[in-house]
C-alpha cells in the first residue's frame, strides 16, 4: 500500500482523497499483487492518504480527521515525514513546478494535478528532477481513463476513421461565477485564459492523446460577461504536426459541457459527455453506444500506485505532459498577441 500525502485540501484535493479513501479493496496487498493486477481493470486500490498540508488547516480539520489524515504544518514537513512515500499535489498552479522538484529531491513519488506547470522550461525541469531521483511522476488528466476514449483511440489505430482530418473539442462549466477576490483561482496569474487551467487544459491533453503533437495555435480569449478580472470565453484553432486541424473552446461561465469529436475520411466519432459515443461511417447512419460510468479520479490514482509498485507505466508519457504545457504557453502568447504561435 502506497502511503501518500495530499498537498492542498481545497475542493479538488478532497475530491481526490474521497475517490479512494475507504475503497482500497487491496488493503494489505503486496507489491507483487499490485504488479499482477491487470492494467485498466483495477478496483480502486494500492494507495491511501495518511497525511497532508493545506493553506488553511482550520477549514480542513474535521474532514481530515474523518479521513484519517494527519495535517502537517507545511510542505517541508510533508517531505520530511518518513511515513510518506508519495505526494498528490493539488495546490495553486504556480506552485507546481517547485513542489514537484522538491518532492523528487526528497525521494517521494509525485502525482501532480493539472496544469502540470505554467511554462515548458519549468515542466522540463520538473520531469528531469523526477527522472534523476528515480521516482514516478504522474499527471492528473483523468479523461484518459474513460472507456469511450480507449475506443476512439482504437478506431484511429485500426483505420476505421480513415485519415484524420479534423478534431473538435469543448470543455465548459460555470465555475468562474463563484470566484471572488482573494481566491487563488480568481488571480489572472493562475488563470491567464479563463477556463483553461481548470477545464480547457484537459481538452488540450485529449487532443494530444488522440491526435498527437500540436504544431501551432491561434487563440481569442476575453471577458464577455465576467467582471472579476478573468476571461469567460476562450476559443482557438489548432494545427497538428500531422496536418490535421482542430477547433477548441472553453467557457468559464456556461452550463457544464464536454464533447470531443474526430472527423476522418471514412467516419466520424463524437463523444458527448463521458459515456455517449456516436459513430457515423461515410455512407451509413449514426449509431450511439453507451459506455459504463467510470470513477476516473480513482482510476488515475490507482494507475499511479500501480506504476510505483512496478506494474504498468502510468498511461501519460512525460514527453506528452511537457508538450501539453508547451501548448498552453503558446496559447497564452497567441491570445495576448493576436497572432498564430508555433508550439515550442
CA–CA gap between residue 78 and residue 22 (Å, rounded)? 22
In a 10 Å sphere around its CB, with 0-12 CB exposed, 13-18 middle and 19+ buried, how is residue 119 labelled? middle
Decide if pLDDT at 135 tops 70: yes
Length in residues, the chain: 344
pLDDT at 253: 95
- Average pLDDT over every residue of 34-63: 74
CA–CA gap between residue 72 and residue 295 (Å, rounded)? 28
3-state secondary structure of 277: strand
CA–CA gap between residue 100 and residue 112 (Å, rounded)? 8
CB atoms within 10 A of CB 33: 14
- Average pLDDT over every residue of 137-162: 98
CA–CA gap between residue 299 and residue 145 (Å, rounded)? 7
Under 8 Å CB-to-CB from 146, ≥6 apart: which residues? 271, 274, 291, 294, 296
- Average pLDDT over every residue of 47-58: 96
Q: Scanning the structure block, which residue is given the C-alpha cell 474526430? A: 262
Q: What is the band of 129 on the pLDDT scale with cuts at 50, 70, 90?
A: very high
pLDDT at 4: 98
| Lowest mean per-residue pLDDT among 45-49, 260-264, 272-276, 321-325 | 45-49
pLDDT tens by residue, 234-250: 999 999 999 999 999 99
Computed on alpha carbons and rounded to an integer, the radius of gyration of the chain in Å comes to 20
pLDDT tens by residue, 246-283: 999 999 999 999 999 999 999 999 999 999 999 999 99
3-state secondary structure of 82: coil
CA–CA gap between residue 74 and residue 83 (Å, rounded)? 15
Share of the chain above pLDDT 70, in %: 93
DSSP state for residue 213 in the 8-state scheme? -
Grid coordinates given for 87: 505526494
Q: What is the band of 229 on the pLDDT scale with cuts at 50, 70, 90?
A: confident
Cα 148 to its chain centre, rounded Å, is: 17
Please provide residue 134's backbone torsions phi and psi, each rounded to the nearest 5 degrees.
70, 30
- Average pLDDT over every residue of 8-18: 95
Secondary structure (H, E, C), 163-196: CEEEEEEEEECCHHHHCCCCCHHHCCCCCCCHHH
CA–CA gap between residue 171 and residue 179 (Å, rounded)? 18
Q: What is the mean pLDDT of the chain?
A: 93
CA–CA gap between residue 261 and residue 316 (Å, rounded)? 20
pLDDT at 45: 62
- Average pLDDT over every residue of 133-162: 98
CA–CA gap between residue 123 and residue 129 (Å, rounded)? 10
Decide if pLDDT at 83 tops 90: yes
pLDDT at 257: 98
pLDDT at 65: 95
Decide if pLDDT at 98 tops 80: yes
CA–CA gap between residue 269 and residue 176 (Å, rounded)? 30
Cα 311 to its chain centre, rounded Å, is: 21
pLDDT at 87: 98
- Average pLDDT over every residue of 283-296: 96
CA–CA gap between residue 46 and residue 32 (Å, rounded)? 11
Decide if pLDDT at 97 tops 70: yes
Q: What angle do CA 258, 262, 266 make, to 5 degrees?
A: 150
DSSP state for residue 111 in the 8-state scheme? E
Decide if pLDDT at 43 tops 70: no
In the chain the domains, ranked by start, together with CATH numbers, are 2-142 (3.40.50.720), 147-293+325-342 (3.30.360.10)
CA–CA gap between residue 262 and residue 164 (Å, rounded)? 7
Provide the angle, in degrees to the nearest 10, between the axes of the packed helices 120-133 and 96-105: 10
- Cis amide prior to 115 (ω within 30 degrees): yes
Share of the chain above pLDDT 90, in %: 87
Under 8 Å CB-to-CB from 230, ≥6 apart: which residues? 176, 179, 186, 188, 191, 194, 223, 252
Rounded alpha-carbon distances, angstroms, from residue 46 to 24, 73, 239, 248: 7, 26, 39, 36
pTM here?
A: 0.92
Amino acid at each position: 500500500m502506497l502511503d501518500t500525502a495530499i498537498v492542498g485540501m481545497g475542493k479538488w484535493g478532497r475530491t481526490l482523497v474521497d475517490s479512494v479513501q475507504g475503497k482500497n479493496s487491496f488493503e494489505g496487498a503486496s507489491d507483487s499483487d499490485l504488479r499482477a493486477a491487470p492494467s485498466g481493470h483495477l478496483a480502486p486500490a494500492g494507495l491511501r492518504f495518511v497525511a497532508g498540508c493545506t493553506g488553511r488547516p482550520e477549514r480542513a480539520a474535521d474532514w481530515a480527521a474523518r479521513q484519517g489524515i494527519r495535517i502537517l504544518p507545511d510542505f517541508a514537513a510533508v517531505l520530511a515525514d518518513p511515513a510518506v512515500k508519495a505526494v498528490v499535489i493539488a495546490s495553486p498552479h504556480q506552485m507546481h513546478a517547485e513542489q514537484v522538484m522538491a518532492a523528487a529531491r526528497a525521494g517521494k513519488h509525485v502525482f501532480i494535478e493539472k496544469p502540470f506547470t505554467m511554462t515548458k522550461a519549468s515542466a522540463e525541469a520538473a520531469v528531469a528532477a523526477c527522472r534523476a531521483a528515480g521516482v514516478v511522476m504522474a499527471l492528473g488528466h483523468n479523461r484518459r481513463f474513460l472507456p469511450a476514449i480507449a475506443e476512439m483511440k482504437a478506431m484511429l489505430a485500426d483505420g476505421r476513421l480513415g485519415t484524420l482530418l479534423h478534431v473538435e473539442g469543448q470543455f465548459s462549466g460555470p465555475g468562474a461565477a463563484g470566484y471572488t477576490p482573494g481566491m487563488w483561482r480568481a488571480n489572472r496569474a493562475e488563470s491567464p485564459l479563463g477556463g483553461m487551467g481548470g477545464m480547457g487544459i484537459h481538452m488540450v491533453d485529449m487532443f494530444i492523446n488522440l491526435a498527437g503533437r500540436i504544431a501551432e495555435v491561434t487563440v481569442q480569449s476575453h471577458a464577455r460577461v465576467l467582471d472579476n478580472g478573468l476571461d469567460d470565453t476562450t476559443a482557438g484553432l489548432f494545427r497538428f504536426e500531422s496536418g490535421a486541424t482542430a477547433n477548441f473552446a472553453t467557457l468559464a461561465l456556461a452550463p457544464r459541457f464536454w464533447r470531443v469529436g474526430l472527423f476522418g475520411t471514412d467516419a466520424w466519432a463524437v463523444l458527448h459527455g463521458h459515456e455517449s459515443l456516436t459513430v457515423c461511417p461515410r455512407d451509413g447512419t449514426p449509431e450511439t453506444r453507451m459506455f459504463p460510468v467510470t470513477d476516473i479520479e480513482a482510476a488515475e490514482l490507482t494507475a499511479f500506485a500501480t506504476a510505483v509498485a512496478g506494474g504498468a507505466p502510468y498511461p501519460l508519457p512525460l514527453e506528452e505532459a511537457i508538450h501539453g504545457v508547451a501548448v498552453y504557453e503558446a496559447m497564452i502568447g497567441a491570445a495576448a498577441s493576436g497572432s498564430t504561435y508555433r508550439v515550442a
